[in-house]
Structure 1
Amino acid sequence: MPFRTIEISQPEFAPAGVSFVTVKSAALKRRADISLYVPPAASAGPLPLVILLHGVYGSHWAWLFKGGAHRVLDRLIAEEKLPPMMLAMPSDGLWGDGSGYASHADADYQRWIVEEVPAAATLVDPRVARAPRFIAGLSMGGYGAMRLGALHPEKFAAISAHSSCTDIAHMQGFVEETAAQFVLAEKEPMSVFECLKQNATRLPPLRFDCGSDDILIEHNRTLHHQLEEAGIPHVYEEFPGGHTWDYWNEHLADTLRFFGKTLG
């Protein structure tokens, strides 16, 4: 048992296919929450796991109830024959306005995502233990997805990100906490590009996108150019739109299609 305690919602009281899970996290030294979704089309075989990371101010329910992630997945399964996948949508650990999904001196938000969230998902549905894992996110969550995917390339079959910060310093435009309050315990670079570069020969497939009116567009363009100059394979796309849930709801489909192609 990877957790001292685990609480799982009763299916009859939650939306169809949705589970809410609270575990005692050793990495965070406190309880933490995850929303999970298993589409009704899922078969008895292995079930790929998609970890979706939210942005600043949010929590585990944001991708479900602001982004409609479960409905996007169901639509793609029905209309485009996308293979069914489990969605695991954890909180970032709820430090300040956003933890950055990094290792802090007092809590390891990186380990929470990379090790404990998949363990909790496996306890809820053992089919994910035998299937590929993917990681994606928006804004701060896009930063977390790309950085953690780069640092742990052996754990993920593909990486995708939307409207991303590309360095933890970019969070300063969004959060109340100062840079000095982020007491990090990280030995690895905080720049997405530096993390991708140091594991360039081992990276899984990578894509990211950003809206042309997004406040973070220039950071994403810079990352794209850096990756091109370094010869690191990736897909980068720009679409109309800003830093909004309308944009993320629409383009989550691009992430799920990208993941689906790796399963073909």
Structure 2
Amino acid sequence: MHPSRATIAHIENLGDRWLQVSVASPALGRTVDVQILLPAQRETPRPTLYLLDGRSAAPDANNWAIKGGALRFFADKNVNVVFTLGGPASYYTDWLHADPKLGTNRWETFLTRELPPLLDARFEGNGVNGLTGVSMGAEGAMMLAVRHPDLYRAIGAHSGCYAMSSDFGQAQARAVVGTFGGDPDNMFGPSDDPQWAEHDVVIHAEALRGKTIYLSSGSGIPGEHDGPTNPDARQAILFGGPLEAGADMCTRQLADRLGQLGIPATVDRRLTGTHSWPYWADELPRSWPTLSAGLGIG
């Protein structure tokens, strides 16, 4: 039985400054693991950057650590880096209903209300937060940022779609949920439910004013990482090409909306590149000057 408030149940040392933290979450109704990388020098409190995974988010590893080069990149940075675990096809949001296949998803409550104060208190966070997500996690990061504008100062979003209530945006979200056997109506209701618009980042883009924002996407055309030396190149081209072309359209749409509102953003829309991790690993160091400035460590 879980307590009425979130608590840290267990901490496991995975390596040098690399920890797995088990949190008893009332919102999710279970104990949820996250992983955290601490900086080498910890004399003073520091900001926290949360890294959200893509649609296949596994319960035991985050692809930013496995495929995105994040452990190496952040080894010398003065920031607590938190890697979410689990939540496949969840969009890191609060679903209206529990799903027979995907269970209880109340990730927004967990990530915005339960987790930050626990980690700040235990690991010397200073209350300044940022988010970076890829694919499903890119849309999740942007949704969290527009719905909790006082909590986040820097957002990075790579290869996501952001107009959740548009025909295309809702279709892609429903497809992602469906690939894992979930019922998308359990997330935001039937297609005409106002919750779809409530979570539409393009509609609510004004809430992003004052934050540092980094957006990236490829064109879907095979690029430098899709050659014969990549064993996953065929899949990246056949499946990741069309996916990235759609994400590029979505990224342009959000970038245009931010431009109309006069909200600055750094946008990297590459001429080539598929929906695959080698490109997102490249984007991590490219996005860091933008994110670190927002976090106050640039």
Q: Which bin holds the TM-score, normalised by the shorter protein?
A: 0.7 to 0.9
Match of 1:119 in 2: 117
From the CA coordinates, give the structure whose radius of gyration is larger.
2
Match of 1:182 in 2: 187
Q: CA deviation at 1:175?
A: 3.5
Contact 1:53 1:136 in 2 (8 A): yes
Q: CA deviation at 1:235?
A: 2.0
Cα distance in structure 2, aligned partners of 1:49 and 1:260: 10
Alpha-carbon spacing, 1:38–1:179, altered in 2? closer, same or farther (3 Å): same
Cα distance in structure 1, aligned partners of 2:7 and 2:113: 15
Match of 1:148 in 2: 144
Match among 232, 241, 264 for residue 273 of structure 2: 241
Match among 187, 196, 205 for residue 212 of structure 2: 205
Contact 1:50 1:85 in 2 (8 A): yes
Q: Which amino acid aligns with 2:67?
A: K
- CA offset digits 1:142-197 (Å, max 9, x no partner): 11111111221111121111111214422234332343242559597121111223
Match of 2:100 in 1: none
Match of 1:46 in 2: 45
Alignment of 1:6-155 (within 5 A): 6-9=9-12, 11=13, 14-40=14-40, 42-59=41-58, 61-62=61-62, 63-74=64-75, 77=76, 83-91=77-85, 94=87, 97-106=88-97, 107-125=105-123, 127-128=124-125, 130-155=126-151
Match of 1:164 in 2: 160
Cα distance in structure 2, aligned partners of 1:4 and 1:86: 19
Q: CA deviation at 1:5?
A: 5.1
Q: CA deviation at 1:8?
A: 0.7
Give aligned pairs, total: 246
Contact 2:214 2:291 in 1 (8 A): no
Bigger shift: residues 164-173 or 65-74 = 164-173
- CA offset digits 1:47-91 (Å, max 9, x no partner): 1100111110113622212322111223xx4xxxxx511101113
Match of 2:224 in 1: none
Bigger shift: residues 136-145 or 202-211 = 202-211
* Structure 2 unaligned blocks of 5 or more: 98-104, 165-169, 221-243
| SS of equivalent residue, structure 1 residue 136 | strand
Q: Which amino acid aligns with 2:203?
A: E
Cα distance in structure 1, aligned partners of 2:69 and 2:205: 30
The TM-score with structure 2 as length reference comes to 0.74
Q: CA deviation at 1:250?
A: 1.2
Contact 2:218 2:274 in 1 (8 A): yes
* Structure 1 unaligned blocks of 5 or more: 78-82
User: What is the RMSD computed on CA atoms of the aligned residues?
Assistant: 2.4
